[in-house]
Amino acid sequence: MKRDRRDPPSDPTLCRRCRHYFVTWDRRFPHGCRALDFKSKTMPCVEVVAASGMPCEVFAQKKGEA
C-alpha cells in the first residue's frame, strides 16, 4: 500500500524527506524543524513523539520526492 504524501512519518529517517527539516551548524543540536521552530540532538519527529506521544502532524513531503 502506498503512503499518502500528507501522512506523518512512521520512521524517524523520513524526517529528511520533510520540507521543514534542516541540518544545523550546532554540533550539540544537529537536527532542526522549521515548522515547530526547534533544534535537537535526535530527529525532530522522535522528539515530537517523546513529548506528545503522537506522530508529527506538520510533516510535509519535499517537492520532487515520491
Along the 66 residues of the chain, how does pLDDT read in single tens digits?
444 455 555 566 688 999 999 999 999 999 999 999 999 999 999 999 899 988 888 989 988 766
Question: Do the domain assignments include residue 45?
Answer: yes
Tell me the pTM.
Answer: 0.75
Q: Considering its fold, how many domains does the chain have in total?
A: 1
For residue 65, is it within any domain?
no
23 in a domain, yes or no?
Answer: yes
| Pairwise CA distance, residues 15 & 51, whole Å | 16
Supply the range of the domain harboring residue 30.
1-59
Contacts of 26 (CB under 8 A, 6+ apart): 39
Let me know if residue 42 belongs to a domain. yes
Reading the block at residue 26, the C-alpha cell is: 550546532
64 within domain boundaries: no
Which region holds residue 57: left if phi is over 0, alpha if psi is between -120 and 50, else beta?
alpha
